[in-house]
Amino acid sequence: MGKDKLRKFRENETFRCMVQPSTDQVLNCDHPLKGNWNRDFFGNDNPIVLELGCGKGEYTVDLAMRNPSCNYIGVDIKGARLWKGAGYAEKHGLGNVAFLRTRIEFICSLFAAGEVSEVWVTFADPQIGREKKRLTSPLFMDRYRRFLKPGGIVHLKTDSRYLHEYSKAMALQNNLEILASAIDIYGEDHDRLFESGLMSVCGRDAVEALFEVQTFYESQYLAQGIGITYLSFIADHEGDYVSPVWDEDAWKDENHHFMAPAGVSVKSKFYPEG
């Protein structure tokens, strides 16, 4: 392991906003913050929003700065990536930001029923041919349901048409209420989405962030002319979630993207470059 990565890990230990559960706490579902995030970590009753697979934390940090009336938790297993977002939050005193280092497979071990209002899935691996690992699969939807409030929203922002189409089919198959669906948020779908009043417990600023905030990977995809998709739906469901019946073969090529017009570039208003 490189010296720089070791340095980041050491600094992570000093960040108040960084939560790194032990293996026993995760496996036994007995982390002290489970059910107590509002009271013991944030010190308020504001809605909690998770970003799953947050990487460097660009989205988590930017959303938190736009919406001080909501609490944001970025979740990822890569400590060296989380270091950047956590360091920025620490330096700037962002009290409504936390970063949680854990595998998303164990996420329901760390939050109690009704503790979370919304989930963002941003640029996740589409897991071609591996449905059980896909973050919008029935397996993961059941995990989210365990801690989402009634009416809890799942947002998906991705460059992968495969993941977008699968997730939309999953929502339809399970009679979930789809709030918005678009395959080109910076192009042909922009005005329709922006004017539709997309739903979020954190208000209009969170909606505008959909267009104004880019993750590290998103900026790379846009530079290649790859279109960015968006889907949001309400996770409420009785009984087991089931796998969708959909035309998987039509989207199986991982490089089957929607190609957006060249020159699209949007940067976060807050998050630093580099």
Residue of 24, 125, 184, 253 marked active site: 125
Looking only at the bridges linking them, the beta strands covering 178-182 and 71-76 are unpaired
Nearest to 101 by CA among 219, 222, 17: 17
- CA dist 183 to 77, 133, 146, 189, 211, Å? 28, 23, 29, 7, 13
Residue 177's alpha-carbon distances to 34, 165, 231, 241, in angstroms, are: 28, 15, 11, 14
The region that residue 213 occupies, defined by phi over 0 for left and psi between -120 and 50 for alpha, beta otherwise, is: beta
Beta bridge partners of 116: 148
CA–CA dist 220, 239 (Å, integer): 40
Q: Is 125 one of the catalytic residues?
A: yes
Question: How far is the C-alpha of 202 from the C-alpha of 176, rounded, in Å?
Answer: 21
CB 157 within 8 A of CB 230: yes
Residue numbers annotated as active site: 125
